[in-house]
A and B are shown apart, each in its own frame.
Chain A
Amino acid sequence: MQITLDVNGEPRTADVDEDTPLLWVLRESLGLTGTKFGCGVAACGACTVHIDGNAVRSCSVPAASMQGMKITTIEGLAPKEQPHPLQAAWIEHQVPQCGYCQSGMIMAAAALIARNPQPTDEQISAEVTNICRCGTYERVRRAIHSVAQAPREGGVP
């Protein structure tokens, strides 16, 4: 079936099965490979994107049901010339190792701080439940806190 999705602010069309998960439409039909495949069962978070601002694991939602909603991927999180504060913090704190899970990790963290600009340790642990096998967790936490403490410009979280 033909579907139209609002991805990173642009209308995108794709020909998919009714049950094709959003992840595979993003990666294979639209060429947005920054969103990663990790488990296919919403257990690891590598495929996390924003749907209307909420962090959603795209491997487990049919793309066809996402029509009319605002989808944001890691590629659309911020303009290249003006990275999201979390992306800058991720570099400053040298968070990624292999980096494979980090798109999802950043998207989960971005959804959290958009809603809750100064999360506690407990809130971070409860909201960011992605798996990282390289073990970058402590740096993820540090980077999120550094953004929460920094004064933000232009009101963009």
Chain B
Amino acid sequence: MNKWTRRTVIATGGLLGGGLALGVAGIAFAPNRLRVTPDSRDGTPQLTTWVKIGADNTVSVVIPHCEMGTGVQTALAMMCAEELEADWNLVRFEEAPGTDDYANGYLVRVFVPVVATIPKYMERGIDFWTFKLTEMMDLQVTGGSSAVRGTGHLGMRVAGAAAKAMLVEAAAKQWKVPVAECSAKLSKVTHSGSGRSATYGELAPQAAQLSPPAHPPLKSRDQYTIVGKATPRIDIPSKVNGSATYGVDVTLPQMLYATIAAAPVFGAKLVSVDTAPAEALPGVKKVVKLDNAVAVVADGYWRALKGVRALAPQFQQTGHEQVTSDTIYAAIAASLDDKKQHSEVVKSGKGSAALQGAAKVVEAEYRVPFLAHATMEPMNATARIADGRCEVWTGVQDPLAARKTAAEASGLKPEQVTIHNQQLGGGFGRRLPGYMDFVEQAVRIAKETSPAPVKLIWSREEDTQHDFYRPAVVGRYQAALADNGAPQVWVSRFNIQDDAAKLPYAIEHQDIRAVPPGYHVRIGPWRSVAHTQHGFFTESFVDELAHTAGKDPLQYRKELLAHAPRHVGVLDKVAEMSGWATPAPAGRARGIALVESFGSIVAEVAEVEIVEGRVKVHRVCAAVDCGDVINPDTATAQVEGGIIYGLSAALFNEVTIAGGRVAQSNFYDLPMPKLVDTPSISVEFIHSGARLGGLGEPGVPPIAPAIANAVFALTGKRVRSLPVRV
């Protein structure tokens, strides 16, 4: 995969070779995208562009998103190539540099109709709506399942269509014929009357002189030849022979290695450390004291690790030293009891007052623990501070935010910082803006090793104990059922305000309230964010209501969704796929769940058995309505992966707190699902034609409640906390 360097610009026949480079037209919010101008800020000729066409007729699509395994770079290149009428065999792509020109205001537009639900980590993006563009400039996020539906739908398609229009116009001018008589196909423009044709590469220099049209016409679904067809991902070949470069693989001349031990209790500062035991070890170059951590720099990772292990740093007392998971749950319960702490999420009808005098009230309390992201590639970053500049090599979900972090840590201006973003060995939310402590640490250590670069690698233990965890949440639920079993009243209380607690179901009286988190543990977005806990709570409780009402859980949900045909559509589809109407094989049972998140609606059915005291999931069916599918095989893979990620939370691990710190440290006490645990998974998509939804996350939330509901169907015992223990 190419990185954006001067060399690649030349090699791909960019501006110096007389090629064509186009900005996106028609997106007035990002004015720099309208221009086709060389950027001479640092003397390197670069273009603020998304599409480049070389003299050799190759098309290079510049992608402002990182690749962390979702296939997003391939999908975005497909969307651009589709409108460009490019020959897919001639399409290449480059990851955009982490500079302001590629800030993705598009991301925010995706969330516009639901501004209230903008995830916490994107909040700075809201400034976009008050046109404080400078505040937006450090947002180049890949997260929120937003790349295809934002950058792709609003940006890449327009960029491709604008480029095509310019190429056609250039051909018409050259041949002195009307534009209407020229057409583009397979990277070539043809004149219908004379049969003359020219390749994009031949037309590019003339086309580059024209202005991009503001509103180029876009193709309709039935005209697509690339989008919607299973297309091999561009990044995969390098991932089967060891040649793909992740952050941790970066190697520089004179590079040193570091590893770190941060305060185990969150929030504690370093008081003192005797550096001598580490300094006495062979290969150790330096012990670096940071605000809340101590790092050892050596000539190799292993020697740095031995150095850190030789130290006994003293951290200050924070008052959290006695905190455990139990005290945390008790504190949350106390907050839930305290009405002064409640803030309203939803109130409709008479709210909780409607519970009074109800004939049948159902109650349940659920909880979920903290969870670690546990990306396979531990946190790492390589930094070099020299000649008044700071360079960082790492894999993050937002290189612009990394640049800001590195600028603050180095004391340099953002313009003096370059981020070389690499492949990510998993992201899942851990490498989003706001959570780049590893970048900050690497830069601070590099100040001490300057001008030598230093690669900071966290041990797995450090990674497990210094994550930004999926929050621990407790939810209390009450519902009143009418004589026919339908819920009339829904009351819920939980910690951490989030709209994921809103219901898709038609219930007249609702009262949904939240209290603050209630603990010192670092929390952050974990693949599908708050939908993981609220999906489990809501879908478990609805299942309880169905059983209380004596109704089939599928039918019960459908009756509450008469207003939501897409939701009913995925339920019907998953019922058909899973054989819901027929009994499960002997010794097994099925459970169903439905969650809408990130613009997509997903229903899943899990078929489970209890084997040697543990839940074995044999089969999972998933029906997905994400509007439309760009790359079907990759889309399927995202849902498969989401189900396994959700399975890890449903059955396999949890992070607990003891002594104010995380009790787990590595995969032996944070077990993960493996091949042997993997169910057979079927995924089907409903092409509803609705607005595009995301796919990186929506497969995750339904699996835990589907399994929990299946366990109830099998054992008669409700699962009210995760991971499931039977």
Residues of A near any B CB (own CB < 8 A): 17, 19-21, 24, 27-29, 31-41, 43-44, 46, 73-75, 77, 80, 83, 87, 90-91, 94-103, 106, 124-126, 128-141
CA distance A44 to B428 in the complex (A): 18
For B89, the chain A residues whose CB sits under 8 A away are none
- B667 x A131 contact (CB < 8 A): yes
Q: List 6 A-B contacts (CB under 8 A).
A: A24-B300, A38-B376, A75-B241, A129-B674, A131-B672, A138-B640
CA distance A95 to B674 in the complex (A): 15
For A39, the closest partner residue in chain B by CB is B460
For B283, the chain A residues whose CB sits under 8 A away are 17
Query: 5 smallest A-B Cβ distances: which pairs?
Result: A34-B242, A135-B644, A99-B239, A100-B425, A97-B69
For B255, the closest partner residue in chain A by CB is A28
For A133, the chain B residues whose CB sits under 8 A away are 374-376, 426, 428, 645, 648, 672
For B248, the closest partner residue in chain A by CB is A37
**Interface SS majority for chain A:** loop
For B631, the closest partner residue in chain A by CB is A94
- A129 x B675 contact (CB < 8 A): yes
Most A CB contacts (10 A, CB to CB) among B70, B633, B642, B675 go to B675
- B634 x A94 contact (CB < 8 A): yes
- A138 x B681 contact (CB < 8 A): yes
For A96, the chain B residues whose CB sits under 8 A away are 69, 235-236, 239-240
For B423, the chain A residues whose CB sits under 8 A away are 98-99
Minimum C-beta distance from B342 to chain A (A):
36
- B376 x A132 contact (CB < 8 A): yes
Q: Is B257 an interface residue (CB 8 A)?
A: yes
- B457 x A37 contact (CB < 8 A): yes
Minimum C-beta distance from A104 to chain B (A):
9
Q: Is B689 an interface residue (CB 8 A)?
A: no
Q: Name B363-410 residues within 8 Å CB distance of A.
A: 374-378
| Contact residue among A87, A129, A138 (Cβ-Cβ distance under 8 Å from B680) | A138
Q: Is B68 an interface residue (CB 8 A)?
A: yes
For B37, the chain A residues whose CB sits under 8 A away are none
| Contact residue among A33, A98, A134 (Cβ-Cβ distance under 8 Å from B245) | A33
CA distance A115 to B105 in the complex (A): 53
**Mask: chain B, 573-589; 1 = CB below 8 Å from A; 0 = not:** 00000000000000000
For B376, the closest partner residue in chain A by CB is A100
- A28 x B376 contact (CB < 8 A): no
CA distance A138 to B683 in the complex (A): 12
Minimum C-beta distance from B488 to chain A (A):
40
- B672 x A100 contact (CB < 8 A): no
Minimum C-beta distance from A137 to chain B (A):
4
CA distance A134 to B283 in the complex (A): 36
CA distance A145 to B269 in the complex (A): 53
Most A CB contacts (10 A, CB to CB) among B241, B375, B457, B678 go to B241
- B233 x A94 contact (CB < 8 A): yes
CA distance A87 to B243 in the complex (A): 13
Apart from A38-B378, A98-B427, 11 more pairs, CB < 8 Å: A17-B282, A20-B300, A24-B300, A36-B246, A75-B241, A99-B236, A131-B667, A134-B641, A134-B645, A135-B644, A137-B644
For A139, the chain B residues whose CB sits under 8 A away are 637, 640
**Interface SS majority for chain B:** loop
Minimum C-beta distance from A26 to chain B (A):
10
Q: Is B249 an interface residue (CB 8 A)?
A: yes
- A33 x B242 contact (CB < 8 A): yes
Q: Is B178 an interface residue (CB 8 A)?
A: no
For A106, the closest partner residue in chain B by CB is B240
CA distance A74 to B377 in the complex (A): 17
For A24, the chain B residues whose CB sits under 8 A away are 300-302
CA distance A87 to B238 in the complex (A): 10
Most A CB contacts (10 A, CB to CB) among B69, B423, B672 go to B69
CA distance A6 to B713 in the complex (A): 57
Q: Name B252-286 residues within 8 Å CB distance of A.
A: 257, 282-283
| Contact residue among A29, A100, A136 (Cβ-Cβ distance under 8 Å from B641) | A136
- A141 x B241 contact (CB < 8 A): no
Q: Name B424-461 residues within 8 Å CB distance of A.
A: 424-428, 457, 459-460
Residues of B near any A CB (own CB < 8 A): 68-71, 232-233, 235-246, 248-249, 251, 257, 282-283, 300-303, 374-378, 423-428, 457, 459-460, 633-634, 637, 640-645, 647-648, 666-668, 672-676, 678, 680-681
- B641 x A135 contact (CB < 8 A): yes
Minimum C-beta distance from B287 to chain A (A):
19
For A34, the chain B residues whose CB sits under 8 A away are 241-243
For A100, the chain B residues whose CB sits under 8 A away are 246, 375-377, 425-426
CA distance A96 to B624 in the complex (A): 22
- A40 x B459 contact (CB < 8 A): yes
For A106, the chain B residues whose CB sits under 8 A away are 240
- B425 x A33 contact (CB < 8 A): no
> A38 and B460 in contact (CB under 8 A), knowing A21-B302, A133-B428, A134-B641?
yes
For B427, the chain A residues whose CB sits under 8 A away are 98
CA distance A91 to B71 in the complex (A): 13
- A36 x B377 contact (CB < 8 A): yes
For A129, the chain B residues whose CB sits under 8 A away are 674-676
For B70, the chain A residues whose CB sits under 8 A away are 97
For B633, the chain A residues whose CB sits under 8 A away are 94
- B69 x A91 contact (CB < 8 A): no
CA distance A87 to B457 in the complex (A): 29
- A99 x B241 contact (CB < 8 A): no
CA distance A140 to B677 in the complex (A): 13
> A98 and B376 in contact (CB under 8 A), knowing A39-B666, A80-B241, A135-B645?
yes
CA distance A112 to B242 in the complex (A): 19
- B242 x A75 contact (CB < 8 A): yes
CA distance A73 to B667 in the complex (A): 23
Most B CB contacts (10 A, CB to CB) among A32, A126, A134, A136 go to A134
> A91 and B376 in contact (CB under 8 A), knowing A24-B300, A44-B667, A141-B678?
no
For B376, the chain A residues whose CB sits under 8 A away are 36, 38, 44, 46, 98, 100-101, 131-133
> A136 and B378 in contact (CB under 8 A), knowing A98-B425, A102-B239?
no
Minimum C-beta distance from B447 to chain A (A):
23
For B644, the closest partner residue in chain A by CB is A135
CA distance A126 to B677 in the complex (A): 11
CA distance A102 to B426 in the complex (A): 12
> A134 and B69 in contact (CB under 8 A), knowing A39-B666, A44-B667, A98-B423?
yes
> A35 and B242 in contact (CB under 8 A), knowing A43-B667, A98-B69?
yes
CA distance A35 to B232 in the complex (A): 24
- A99 x B672 contact (CB < 8 A): no
Most A CB contacts (10 A, CB to CB) among B240, B249, B302, B666 go to B240
> A41 and B672 in contact (CB under 8 A), knowing A33-B245, A74-B242?
no
| Contact residue among A27, A39, A94, A125 (Cβ-Cβ distance under 8 Å from B676) | A125
For B646, the closest partner residue in chain A by CB is A135
> A136 and B637 in contact (CB under 8 A), knowing A24-B301, A36-B376, A83-B241?
yes
CA distance A73 to B242 in the complex (A): 9
For B69, the chain A residues whose CB sits under 8 A away are 96-99, 134
For A95, the chain B residues whose CB sits under 8 A away are 236, 240
- A28 x B257 contact (CB < 8 A): yes
For B681, the chain A residues whose CB sits under 8 A away are 138
- B678 x A138 contact (CB < 8 A): yes
For A43, the chain B residues whose CB sits under 8 A away are 666-668
Most A CB contacts (10 A, CB to CB) among B237, B239, B251, B301 go to B239
| Contact residue among A36, A77, A138 (Cβ-Cβ distance under 8 Å from B248) | A36
- B674 x A130 contact (CB < 8 A): yes
For A132, the chain B residues whose CB sits under 8 A away are 376, 644
For B244, the chain A residues whose CB sits under 8 A away are 99
For B232, the chain A residues whose CB sits under 8 A away are 91, 94
For A102, the chain B residues whose CB sits under 8 A away are 239-240
For B374, the chain A residues whose CB sits under 8 A away are 133
